[in-house]
Structure 1
Amino acid sequence: LNALRRDAVEALENLLITDHETAWAELAVEPQDMSSMVAKGKVQYFEPMVSARVDELDSVKAAIEGGAKKIIFGGDRLQRKPYELSIYEQVATLCNNHNVLCVFATPRVVKDDEVESYMSTLKAIVEAKPDGISIHVPQALLWLRDLGYTGAIEADTGLNIFNGSALQVWQDFNMSSIAPSLELTLAQLVNLQKSTKLPLEIMVHGYTEMMISEYCAIASFVGTGKKENCPMPCVREDYALKDRKGEVFPLRTDPYCRMHIMNSHEMDMRAYVPELHRKGLYILRIDGRHMDPHRLRSIVADYVSIQNGTKEAPPKSVGKDDTPITRGHYFRGIL
């Protein structure tokens, strides 16, 4: 029986390897064709700016009113219902009318059986003529090539760019900017910025995503227990997970019915804006996908004012005891 089990496992392993090799070969690009995957256009960044990652039209307007000079829209919409495809043209027009950079993002996860349906969204994104497209998965280069897109492309956090070697790969693809891994320390970010002429865009405010899960705790506890024919309780109420220490982690769902577990504390780096500038980090991103538009406008305005010197940064001690905020991994790393 042991020998039979070993033979069966070996046979299954060989089948899986063959299947993956075949699938990969179908995506393979010959060396002489690599140039067709390199972004032809490029966004030039000449000055410090605040960017806002948002997923609703009202939030786009609020961020622009607050002074954001770059909008990153779409990708992982933290709401269950999908977009109407016309929204991309609306966002691009709004940004263009206010002389604000418009960048559309791809999701962080696109499964093989979702690619075909996602292509209609990506086609609408390309047709909206944004200033750039921010990618979270390497396959997006192939999709954009197939759609004939020749504009600017930016490497986003989903690519998990953690060191100079990874950054060099994406620099060779002529990216306009790099949003490195959210797990880097400030010291690592500074060293990474020194190693490239590309601007790094770093997150300074918002709730970071701890995990994206196919399993949905909301459906399991207050739904039917499965995704099929789910009554979508997540549309009607907000839910969260509480750990043994009493920390509350907000739950969000996206149009692909995936669960996003958010950090229990909001990142707030306002106190460190002057230091970030001194160290050569000038593109500061606020993740406003979970924020009320009025609050988003206020937070963006704060960062813009601190950035241009019309408002002093708050003391670094703010947030240590009085409010539950986090500095992410900037000062503690992951090791």
Structure 2
Amino acid sequence: MRRKAIVKYEEYKLAFSEKRIVCPFKNFSYQNGKKVFNGKITLKVHQNSQLDKILEYPNISEFIREIYTEDFNLLEKYYNNLKAIGIKLIYSALGVIRNEEYSVLEKYLSKLNDEIFNKVQISTWGSKSFFKSKFDTKKFNIDTYFNIYNSYSLKFFEKYFNAEDITLSQEINKFEIKNILDKLKERNSNVDMIIYGHTRSMLTEYCAMGVLTKDCHKDRRCAECARSDYALKDMENREFRLFQDMFCRTEIRNHIALDLRTDIKEIFELGVDRVRLDFTYENSMMVYKILKECIDCLKYSREINDRNRFKGHYINSVS
């Protein structure tokens, strides 16, 4: 009976591709003309200290209006420092949050000024309800992990998540991006695209650092974990850096950085509103250098060295 049931289930699943799912576009109708200009470049950092050097950058708000951070340590201090030069620092919520973990997150974030959470970047469905109910969050940035892959999903998040900015999936190529944005000439949200960063390869519950520390406690990060300078090395000696969140989940980052900065003008011509630089373990000087090259390219048409740059799926998508 079990084997027969599995066969029936497999037949049902395989036949699913023959069924057509209809998502009426008219259901996404709303008033146009509400898009807010949020700059041409945005950053996302793993630690707030990575922003130290760019605070010295003259007239940085000419290109940057928002910066996203995963770090809530000294968040209010950096928020006020950036606000003084015309930039909003926006908290980026964890990639995975279990039901029982929301109360822990609230305990840390509730100590901060509620103004900081007027807008939040989210990667999970439950985050919207949490920030809306606990911090009265009005606007959201939809991060790349929602896999925005077509115009329907982009419209959906605009309407039901009140999304002011939406980051495209990193798995689509430039032709698919153009196709999506050609269909959505008039939209209320800014479309973001990541053009630099060590892409997340995996997010796992397994704590590699805990094996080394022996006395690891899940309820508090030990000093060894907090160092965040661990890596997995493969057979070709490539190093994949490891990071941990506050609940000891391990994030594995690609060994080579995606870098599309030399294509930045073409990307804007596709219809993208804003490009994003993602920083993980780069220090503040490296963040400044990469950002400055990007701004100089846009402002003065200065060329960026194109040698051996990894372009991910920009040319060829996963399909």
**Which bracket does the TM-score occupy, shorter chain normalised?**
0.7 to 0.9
**Amino acid across the alignment from 1:72:** I
Note if contact 1:215-1:258 (Cα within 8 Å) is conserved in structure 2.
yes
2:142 aligned residue: 155
Of stretches 129-138 and 269-278 in structure 1, the one that deviates more from structure 2 is 129-138
Q: CA deviation at 1:265?
A: 0.4
Q: Is the aligned partner of 1:328 residue 2:319? A: no
Q: Check 1:61–1:236 CA distance in 2 against 1; reply closer, same or farther (3 A cut).
A: closer
Give 2:200's aligned residue. Answer: 209
Change in CA separation of 1:108 and 1:134 when aligned onto 2, cut-off 3 Å: same
Counterpart residue number, 1:180 = 168
Q: Deviations over 1:94-125 (max 9, x none)?
A: 22100113322111110122111112344456
Match of residue 67, structure 2, among 69, 72, 90 = 72
Cα shift at 1:231: 5.3
Asked if 1:302 corresponds to 2:289, the answer is: no
Conserved in 2, the CA contact under 8 Å of 1:157 and 1:181? Answer: yes
Structure-to-structure mapping, 1:217-256, within 5 angstroms: 217-220=208-211, 222-224=212-214, 228=218, 232-236=223-227, 238-256=229-247
**1:135–1:155 CA contact under 8 A, matched in 2:** yes
The question of whether the paired residues in 2 share the 8 Å contact of 1:70 and 1:103 is answered with: no
Residue 80 of structure 1 corresponds to none
Matched residue type, 1:56: Q
Give the SS at the match of 2:76. helix
Distance 1:133 1:274, change over 3 A: same
Work out the CA distance in 1 between the residues paired with 2:135 and 2:229.
40
Alpha-carbon distance, 1:214 to partner? 0.7
Identity score, percent: 19
Distance 2:228 2:126 in 1: 35
Within 5 Å, which residues of 2 pair with 1:89-100?
89-100=76-87
Q: How far is 1:213 from its partner?
A: 0.9
Query: What is the identity, as a one-letter code, of the residue corresponding to 2:314?
Result: Y
Give the match's secondary structure for 1:139: helix
Q: Is the CA contact (8 Å cut-off) linking 1:92 and 1:102 kept in structure 2? A: yes
Partner of 2:180: 192
In the alignment, which residue of structure 1 is the partner of 2:129? Answer: 142
Query: Tell me, which stretches of 5 or more residues in structure 1 are unaligned?
Result: 10-41, 78-82
Count of matched residue pairs: 281
**TM-fit CA distance, 1:151:** 2.5
Looking at structure 2, the residues matched to 195 and 115 of structure 1 have their Cα atoms a distance apart, in angstroms, of 37
Does the residue aligned with 2:262 lie in a helix, a strand or coil? helix
| C-alpha distance 63-162 of structure 1, shift in aligned 2 (>3 A) | farther
Seen in structure 2, the aligned counterparts of structure 1 residues 204 and 131 have a Cα distance that, compared at 3 Å, is farther
The residue type equivalent to 1:334 in the other structure is V
TM-score (norm 1): 0.74
Q: Does 1:120 align with 2:112?
A: no
Looking at structure 1, the residues matched to 230 and 275 of structure 2 have their Cα atoms a distance apart, in angstroms, of 29
Whether the 8 Å CA contact 1:133–1:154 is kept in 2: the answer is yes
The answer for the alignment partner of 2:36 in structure 1 is 44
Structure 2 counterpart of 1:314, one-letter code: I
Closer/same/farther in 2, CA of residues 140 and 130 from structure 1, 3 Å limit: closer
Q: Which one-letter code corresponds to 1:283 in the other structure?
A: R
SS of match in other structure, 2:90: strand
Give the letter for the 2:65 counterpart.
K
CA distance in 2, matches of 1:73, 1:270: 19
Provide the rounded CA distance (Å) in 2 between the counterparts of 1:95 and 1:273: 25
SS, match of residue 94 in structure 1: helix
Q: Distance in 2 between matches of 1:239 and 1:291?
A: 14
- AA at the equivalent of 1:206: G
TM-score, normalising length: structure 2: 0.78
- Specify which structure has the bigger relative contact order, considering alpha-carbon pairs within 8 angstroms and separated by 6 or more residues: 1
> What residue identity is the alignment partner of 1:159?
F
Alignment match, 1:280: 271
**Structure 2: stretches of 5+ with no match in the other structure:** 6-33
Match of 1:35 in 2: none
Aligned 8 A contact 2:122 2:141 in 1: yes
Once the two structures are TM-superposed, the CA of residue 270 in structure 1 deviates from its matched residue by: 1.9
Cα 1:268–1:144 shift into 2, 3 Å: same
Measured in 2, the distance between the counterparts of 1:283 and 1:214 equals: 33
Considering only aligned residues, what root-mean-square deviation do their CA atoms show, in Å? 2.8
